[in-house]
Each structure stands twice: as structure tokens, then as C-alpha cells.
């Protein structure tokens, strides 16, 4: 158990809908990362937050948004869902301070199925 929790485990929804994925980082970790993993694309970095502020942005679609709250949990919002958004969404957390350590601890993931 990495100490990172993600809810829900599974989500089935229809095209055009909006969903929210939730992540609680490990105790003491200030940085949260969101990744999308599909069979043909591997692990795609979406966005990183550090202590409530957006720190880095990857291949995140405009239909997707995220935030990190004062208690450090994070939410990833996916809207106007399309079939191609079906994937595993991972959240990871790390200490992310200069000098390391730089290990990312991954949650169990949320499997999103868009029908």
C-alpha cells in the first residue's frame, strides 16, 4: 500500500458527461501528479500541483481541469467526456523538494469507462 488513495475505483459513464476523480496524497507529501494510462499511449502526464499551486502541465486537454485543496487532496475534473477518454487515471504524490527524494508514490488508479 503506497499510502495514496483514489476514489472511485471504477467509474462508468456516458459520452458528454462530467466526472470528478479524487486523490489523497501520502501524509507529508506536498506534490500531487495526475496521469492517464491507456493501452496504446502508456503513462501520460497530465498535471502537477505543489502545495496548492499548479507546477507543471503535460498533455492535459482543455476539457480536463484539476485543483489541489488546502488539505492537499486533489480532484481531477473531466468534462464533455468522449469514448477516447476511457482509461486508467493515476494519481501520484511525492515530497518534491530540491535535493530529493524524488520517488513518486502511485495510488491504485481509477478506471474510467465512457460508453
Binding site for other proteins (CB under 8 A): 2, 4, 33, 35, 41-43, 45, 48, 55-56, 90, 92, 96, 98, 100-104, 106-109
Nearest distance, CB of residue 113 and other proteins, angstroms: 14
Residue 42 backbone dihedrals phi, psi, to 5 degrees: 70, -160
The per-type count for the chain, helices as H runs and strands as E runs, is 0, 11
- CB nearer to other proteins: give 14 or 99: 99
| Whether the Cβ atoms of residue 110 and residue 24 lie closer than 8 Å to each other | no
Nearest distance, CB of residue 16 and other proteins, angstroms: 28
The widest CA-to-CA distance across the chain, in whole angstroms, is 44
- CB nearer to other proteins: give 70 or 99: 99
Nearest distance, CB of residue 110 and other proteins, angstroms: 11
Q: In 3D, which of 55, 17, 41, 36 has the Cα closest to residue 110? A: 36
Amino acid at each position: 500500500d503506497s499510502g495514496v488513495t483514489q476514489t472511485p475505483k471504477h467509474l462508468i459513464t456516458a459520452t458528454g458527461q462530467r466526472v470528478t476523480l479524487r486523490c489523497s496524497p501520502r501524509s507529508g507529501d506536498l506534490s500531487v501528479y495526475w496521469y492517464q494510462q491507456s493501452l496504446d499511449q502508456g503513462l501520460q502526464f497530465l498535471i502537477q500541483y505543489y502545495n496548492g499551486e499548479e507546477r507543471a502541465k503535460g498533455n492535459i486537454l482543455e476539457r480536463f481541469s484539476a485543483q489541489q485543496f488546502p488539505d492537499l487532496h486533489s480532484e481531477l475534473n473531466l468534462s464533455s467526456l468522449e469514448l477516447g477518454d476511457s482509461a486508467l487515471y493515476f494519481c501520484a504524490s511525492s515530497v518534491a523538494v530540491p535535493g530529493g527524494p524524488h520517488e513518486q508514490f502511485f495510488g491504485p488508479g481509477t478506471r474510467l469507462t465512457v460508453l
